[in-house]
Amino acid sequence: MPRDPLIGLVGKPSSGKSTTLNSVPIELLDVAGLVPGAHEGKGLGNKFLDDLRHADALVHVVDVSGCTDAEGKATRGYDPSQDIAWLRSEIVHWILGNLMEKWGGIKRRHIAVKATAVETLQNQFSGYGSTPPIIARCLDRLNLKEPLQNWSDATIERVVNAFIDEKFPTVIALNKIDHPDADKNIAKIAKVHDAKTLVLTSAISEVFLRKLAKQGFIRYVEGSEFVDTRDDLIEAGDPDGGGLKEMDEKLKTRIENLRDMVLYRFGSTGVVQVLSRAAELLGLVPVFPVRNIHSFSSGSAGSAVFRDCVLVKRGRRWVMCSEKSWAMHHWLTRRRWEV
């Protein structure tokens, strides 16, 4: 049976990767810490690359404040665009190095068994979680005409880069956006990267808001731009303030600063949006299974409406057989439907 998609969370030490991991409501693959030279075994390089092969997509957490250097040590004025470049470089060198070591033998076998380019490359890339359709899309993207045995080193590198694009689609989470130096770094990165791959985040703000909500000081929905305090709800006409606790002046000031610097300015903390963007890159759509097609609940009376959510591949077909079968949000008729 096909497994659920796995999203790998990558980033250098002190980028905010661990904070982001603790903020998301789904299971992620926490890839070992990354430092330059990982493909040569530096740091936890071997473990990083071994972890990476299991991922279907990556979320690269980048410290956009520029306050940590390439190895995650405290500094000031570091260019975080370098982190994006060398992550890609590490993956390319890892796969390309493995391939070139045995390219002579690969060519001879390719000719001897009269294999197609897809078959030969799949044999080499299967250890990275590849599939024949992924290889086929890579070759279609490059529109290569020459036979595999005649490929130059430059062509092989192009193939590796195309494979990485297909196998490891990456969302770049520009973290620590509330830092004073973040704006100039964001602007520089935005000039050279597809906007669809970039998400602005403040993972520490998300952790703070969820903690206060759990403690009963605020009303906050993950991924939202709005935070309600007791005073807000009283002002809106609720004399009980929604049952929220009263905050001291210091906490009120922190909430106001967070609203101004993150929520009102960027629309959210960005953490939930990172996962949504990763799902989009994988062609996944959210589906809400319910057991009761009248109340839209997932269990007995009183259970939450649309409580559960699963990610399914766009285009997958489902069959609804009876009221006792699991129905899906937006498709509540007894017929075959397609996401």
Q: If DSSP states are collapsed to H, E and C, what string results for 118-151?
A: HHHHHHHHHHHCCCHHHHHHHHHHHCCCCCHHHC
% of the chain exceeding 70 in pLDDT: 75
CATH 1.10.8.470 in the chain, residues?
1-201
Neighbours of 235 (CB within 10 A): 11
3 state SS for 74-87: ECCCCCCHHHHHHH
Between 199 and 36, the higher pLDDT residue: 199
At residue 243, does pLDDT exceed 80? yes
Q: Which stretch of DSSP H or E encloses residue 209?
A: helix 203-215
At residue 332, the pLDDT reads 36
In this structure, whether the domain defined by 1-201 belongs to CATH 1.10.8.470 is answered with: yes
- For the record, the structure tokens of 140 come out as 């279609």
At residue 72, the pLDDT reads 83
The model's pTM is 0.81
pLDDT tens string 7-33: 888 887 778 777 776 675 555 777 655
The residue-averaged pLDDT of 91-104 equals: 91
The residue-averaged pLDDT of 252-276 equals: 94
How far is it, in rounded angstroms, from Cα 139 to Cα 151? 13
pLDDT tens string 272-289: 888 888 888 888 766 666
